[in-house]
Amino acid sequence: MSLGPYTSFIVTSYTLVAAVVLLLIVWIVIDYRHQKERLRQLDASGVTRRSGRQATDIR
């Protein structure tokens, strides 16, 4: 597959899209782990939800 004289423009576009999508995914996964960790710490300190469930219970 030849991309002709504008290969750099095409490859840069696809690489940039892949990088930004990957960044979004990584950011969301890290944020999820961070929130779960904060809930675990609150659980460990004895704080419970008004429903009586554990802070980390997401069911």
Partner 1 sequence: MTLIDLANPTKFLSLTARVLPWLAGATAILLLVGLYQAAMAPDDYQQGATVKIMFVHVPNAWLAMFVWGVMSLSALGTLVWRHPLADVAAKAAAPIGAAFTFLALVTGSLWGRPMWGTYWEWDARLTSVLILFLMYLGLMALWRAVDDPSRAARAAAVLTLVGAINLPIIKFSVDWWNTLHQPAAVLRMGGTSLDKAFLIPLLVMAVGFSLLFVTLHLAAMRNEILRRRVRSLQMMQASQQAA
User: Given the rule CB under 8 A, which residues bind partner 1?
Assistant: 1-7, 9-10, 12-14, 16-17, 20-21, 23-25, 27-29, 31-32, 35-36, 38-39, 42, 45, 47, 49, 55, 58-59
Rounded to a whole number of angstroms, the minimum distance from the CB of residue 55 to partner 1 is 6
Rounded to a whole number of angstroms, the minimum distance from the CB of residue 20 to partner 1 is 5
Please, which residues have CB within 8 angstroms of residue 10's CB and are 6 or more apart in sequence? 3
Task: Decide: residue 1, CB within 10 A, 0-12 exposed, 13-18 middle, 19+ buried.
Answer: exposed
